[in-house]
């Protein structure tokens, strides 16, 4: 049972990590928690679902389409809801409130247009199971886990090795100075949202395949947010570590303590980190920037 | 000022006109989930009622008046259901159909009871819909046309032990739902009584998506059957996750599984699962209804709600005829004493002791994913 619990925890944690990356990316640059990220994940899942069911595309194209779709939605979201606040140098609390409004707006938009029905993706991988000793794990979970690792590694390389990545990191440390040095901040922030949206698209498709697609599915990002805080908001390796730690801890609590106690545990962990270690496991000093 | 006076006058005229109009109709409330997770059943239920009321009104109505529905969406939410109940009371309905879900029905019952308006639920199977849990006495204004959960849980357990030969059972249920919690209890009791053992009883919280921790625990205990008294959405996800973990146990469910969504969402993982239902498309008693519904709406009804809602309406109509008045207390008395009336699902007699029907059978159906249907397996009239 121990090994099975560990495997299950890691596979849940992989998805948390994928979602937490979106929070951390935006937080690292704009220093606010983008609570609309969950809604973008949900919309990404719907984009993927439409491509899979209406156009009968294969898994690769569905994933690519969902990444593009959610990326564009995230950029539009920033343009409509945050950019004017940002230009007026509004406190990050205002951005956060705007983000919450966006989440509710987007959810209700889907309710009003597509409806509240539940949908499932076609079975891309059948129900293939890989056995490890007496434990087993589905092929999809292994795939999702490896893909999440690869995507986060790719993003890490992009941010540390490319010119745009360096510009983003410069923006993280000092946005005003960065714009004085001739960096186009609007473009930079659009790229950050495009990347965060792309990750939302991946997370949306994997969540949709694993579970179901429906308007309030974005609430799972509560967990991703906790993962981001545990790992250290604003840190990419932290998002990965936080996601995996949370996934494993939750699964062990469910298995060895009580499944009903799981969320009590997760949220206690969140509060404990906020109080005693607000920078998380791997986060750098993240005091509010003025 | 004059403008305001004129507007007030206009409003008054409208109110009086409305009241005058209301005099020649009988207003019956309908609290139903038109949106939310149970909307498939709710919408089918509303259609079936509209279809039937057209027929009743075409034949002259009841007590010389036409029936009119006052319908509100309770979104399958407890708080919203109580709001809807209050609104129906202030709208002055003479009786209410719904809600369909036990939790919502239990929450709504006291509102209608205080107002003296009879409520006939459609598919709420929890015993405490018609019995007050605190006093243990029957609720004078609550009725139902469907069987109750102790019967349903017992049928499921008996089918598991005698027909599936199950010795070790496991239960996965929603700890936040009255429906799931009580069914888990009734199944457990009956399964043990029949000689089986419950090796695992695991809970999850409402709206949770991942049950693999709970299922992983069951895996080592190798149950023959896993009882999952949840809605189609959770059942589909639980089935997928159980198969992903390599669990081969037979999956067994309850009447909340009975939606085409189950097959759509669960795919191959749910294939071969069994569940207890209130009605079956193949049941000879409801063939006329199914044909009529298909002709009117171009698709099959989502059972069992449309059938049970029609049963509820027929109960109210028969009650009104018997009482000869729309007075709430007299109507409730008539409903409690309904005997051998003909409803859509067959004959119906209400037990005045607990306001439950005496003779509603339960069917066992099997999920057939390849043909996208539920196969009729067997029918239980009693579990004695």
Q: Are the C-beta atoms of B125 and B179 separated by less than 8 Å? A: yes
User: pLDDT digits over A92-114, tens only?
Assistant: 889 999 999 999 899 889 988 88
Residues of A within 8 A of B207 (CB-CB) are: 219
Q: Are A117 and B40 inside 8 Å of each other by CB? A: yes
Nearest CB among B35, B211, B267 relative to A123 is that of: B267
The Cα of B315 is separated from the nearest Cα of chain A by a number of Å equal to: 31
* Chain B residues with a Cβ under 8 Å from any Cβ in chain A: 35-37, 39-40, 175, 202-205, 207, 209-214, 216-217, 219-220, 233, 236-237, 240, 243-246, 261, 264-269
Q: Are B267 and A141 inside 8 Å of each other by CB? A: no
Tokens standing for A82? 């945050």
In this prediction, residue B220 carries a pLDDT of: 86
What's the mean pLDDT in A81-86?
Answer: 90
Nearest CB among A5, A116, A120 relative to B213 is that of: A5
Residues of A within 8 A of B203 (CB-CB) are: 259-260
Paired strand residues for B70: B29
| Nearest by Cα to B310 from B265, B341, B274, B337 | B341
Position with higher pLDDT, B16 vs A129: A129
What's the mean pLDDT in A243-250?
Answer: 92
- What burial class does residue A25 get, using C-beta atoms within 10 Å of its C-beta: 0-12 exposed, 13-18 middle, 19+ buried? buried
Nearest CB among B39, B205, B216 relative to A8 is that of: B216
Q: Are A251 and B213 inside 8 Å of each other by CB? A: yes
Q: Give alpha helix (H) positions in A139-283.
A: 139-161, 163-173, 175-180, 185-210, 221-231, 236-252, 262-276
In this prediction, residue A290 carries a pLDDT of: 33
pLDDT higher than threshold 70 for residue A238: yes
Nearest CB among A136, A212, A263 relative to B245 is that of: A136
Q: Are B213 and A262 inside 8 Å of each other by CB? A: yes
Give the 3-state DSSP-derived string for chain B, with helices as H, strands as E and coil as C: CHHHHHHHHHHHHHHHHHHHHHCCEEEEEEEECCCCCCHHHHHHHHHHHHHHHHHHHHCCCECCEEEEEEEEECCCCHHHHHHHHHHHHHCCCCEEECCCCHHHHHHHHHHHHHHCCCEECCCCCCHHHCECCCCCCECCCEECCCCCHHHHHHHHHHHHHHHCCCCEEEEEEECCCHHHHHHHHHHHHHHHHCCCEEEEEEEECCCCCCCHHHHHHHHHHCCCEEEECCCHHHHHHHHHHHHHCCCCCEEEECHHHCCHHHHHHHHHHHCCCEEEECCCCCCHHHHHHHHHHHHHHCCCCCCCHHHHHHHHHHHHHHHHHHHCCCCHHHHHHHHHCCCCEEECCEEECECCCCCCECCCCEEEEEEECCCCEEEEEEEECCCC
Residues of A within 8 A of B211 (CB-CB) are: 259
Whole-angstrom distance, CA of residue A232 vs CA of residue A288: 14
Nearest CB among A127, A254, A263 relative to B214 is that of: A254
Residues of B within 8 A of A9 (CB-CB) are: 213
The Cα of A72 is separated from the nearest Cα of chain B by a number of Å equal to: 27
In this prediction, residue B281 carries a pLDDT of: 80
Paired strand residues for A132: A135
pLDDT higher than threshold 60 for residue A289: no
Q: Are B217 and A118 inside 8 Å of each other by CB? A: no
Q: Are B219 and A4 inside 8 Å of each other by CB? A: yes
In this prediction, residue B100 carries a pLDDT of: 93
Cα A28–Cα A33–Cα A37 angle in degrees, nearest 5 = 105
Chain B within 8 Å of A50 (Cβ-Cβ)? Answer: no
Spans of chain B below 70 pLDDT: 1-23, 383-384
Whole-angstrom distance, CA of residue B6 vs CA of residue B196: 75
Residues of A within 8 A of B240 (CB-CB) are: 127, 210
Q: Are the C-beta atoms of B264 and A53 separated by less than 8 Å? A: no
The Cα of B371 is separated from the nearest Cα of chain A by a number of Å equal to: 16
What's the mean pLDDT in A245-253?
Answer: 91
The Cα of A274 is separated from the nearest Cα of chain B by a number of Å equal to: 25
The Cα of A30 is separated from the nearest Cα of chain B by a number of Å equal to: 31
User: By CA distance, what is B212's nearest residue in A?
Assistant: A8
Nearest CB among A123, A212, A263 relative to B205 is that of: A263
What's the mean pLDDT in A162-175?
Answer: 84
User: pLDDT digits over A198-232, tens only?
Assistant: 999 999 999 998 888 988 888 888 888 889 889 88
Tokens standing for A54? 């209406």
In this prediction, residue B384 carries a pLDDT of: 63
């Amino acid at each position: 049972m121990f090994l099975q619990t560990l495997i299950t925890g890691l596979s849940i944690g992989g998805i948390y990590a994928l979602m937490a990356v979106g929070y951390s990316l935006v937080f690292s640059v704009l220093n606010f928690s983008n609570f609309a990220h969950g809604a973008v994940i949900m919309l990404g899942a719907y984009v993927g679902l439409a491509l899979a069911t209406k156009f009968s595309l294969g898994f690769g194209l569905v994933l690519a389409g969902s990444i593009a779709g959610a990326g564009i939605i995230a950029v539009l979201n920033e343009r409509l809801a945050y950019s004017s606040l940002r230009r007026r140098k509004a406190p990050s609390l205002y951005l956060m409130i705007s983000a919450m409004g966006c989440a509710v707006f987007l959810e209700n938009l889907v309710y009003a247009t597509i409806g509240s029905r539940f949908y499932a993706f076609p079975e891309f991988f059948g129900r293939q199971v890989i056995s490890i000793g007496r434990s087993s794990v589905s092929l999809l979970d292994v795939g999702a886990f490896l893909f999440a690792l690869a995507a986060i590694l790719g993003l890490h390389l992009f941010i540390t090795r490319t010119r745009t990545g360096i510009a983003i990191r410069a923006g993280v440390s000092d946005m005003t100075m960065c714009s004085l040095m001739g960096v186009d901040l609007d473009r930079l922030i659009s790229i950050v949202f495009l990347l965060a949206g792309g990750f939302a698209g991946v997370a949306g498709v994997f969540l949709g395949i694993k579970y179901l697609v429906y308007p309030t599915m974005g609430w799972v990002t509560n967990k991703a947010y906790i993962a981001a805080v545990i790992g250290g908001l604003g840190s990419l390796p932290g998002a990965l570590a936080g996601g995996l730690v949370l996934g494993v801890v939750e699964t062990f609590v469910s298995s060895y303590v009580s499944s009903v106690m799981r969320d009590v545990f997760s949220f206690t962990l969140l509060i404990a980190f906020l109080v005693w270690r607000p920078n998380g496991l791997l986060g750098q000093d993240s005091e509010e920037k003025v | 000022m004059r403008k305001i006076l004129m507007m007030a006058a206009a409003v008054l005229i409208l109110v009086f006109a409305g009241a005058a109009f209301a005099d020649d109709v009988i207003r019956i409330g309908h609290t139903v989930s038109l949106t939310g997770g149970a909307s498939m059943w709710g919408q089918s239920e509303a259609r079936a009622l509209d279809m039937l009321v057209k027929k009743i009104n075409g034949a002259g109505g009841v007590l010389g008046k036409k029936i009119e529905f006052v319908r509100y969406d309770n979104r399958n939410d407890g708080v919203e259901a109580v709001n809807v109940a209050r609104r129906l009371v202030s709208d002055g309905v003479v009786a209410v159909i719904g809600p369909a879900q036990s939790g919502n029905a239990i929450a709504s019952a006291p509102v209608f009871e205080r107002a003296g308006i009879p409520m006939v639920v459609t598919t709420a199977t929890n015993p405490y819909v018609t019995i007050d849990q605190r006093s243990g006495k029957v609720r004078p204004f609550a009725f139902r046309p469907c069987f109750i959960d102790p019967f349903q849980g017992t049928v499921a357990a008996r089918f598991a032990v005698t027909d599936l030969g199950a010795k070790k059972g496991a239960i996965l249920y929603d700890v936040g739902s009255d429906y799931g919690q009580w069914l888990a209890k009734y199944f457990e009791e009956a399964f043990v009584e029949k000689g089986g053992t419950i090796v695992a009883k695991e809970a999850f919280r409402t709206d949770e998506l991942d049950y693999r921790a709970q299922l992983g625990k069951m895996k080592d205990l190798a149950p023959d059957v896993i009882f999952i008294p949840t809605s189609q959405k959770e059942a589909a996800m639980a089935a997928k996750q159980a198969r992903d973990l390599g669990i081969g146990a037979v999956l067994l469910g309850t009447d909340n599984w009975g939606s085409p969504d189950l097959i759509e969402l669960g795919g191959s993982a749910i294939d071969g699962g069994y569940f207890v239902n209130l009605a079956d498309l193949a049941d000879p008693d409801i063939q006329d209804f199914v044909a009529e519904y298909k002709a009117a709406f171009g698709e099959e009804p989502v059972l069992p709600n449309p059938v049970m809602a029609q049963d509820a309406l027929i109960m109210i109509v028969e009650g009104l005829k018997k009482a000869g008045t729309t007075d709430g207390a007299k109507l409730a008395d008539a409903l409690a004493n309904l005997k051998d009336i003909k409803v859509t699902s067959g004959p119906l007699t209400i037990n005045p002791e607990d306001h439950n029907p005496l003779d509603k059978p339960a069917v066992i159906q099997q999920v057939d994913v390849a043909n996208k249907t539920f196969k009729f397996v067997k029918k239980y009239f009693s579990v004695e």
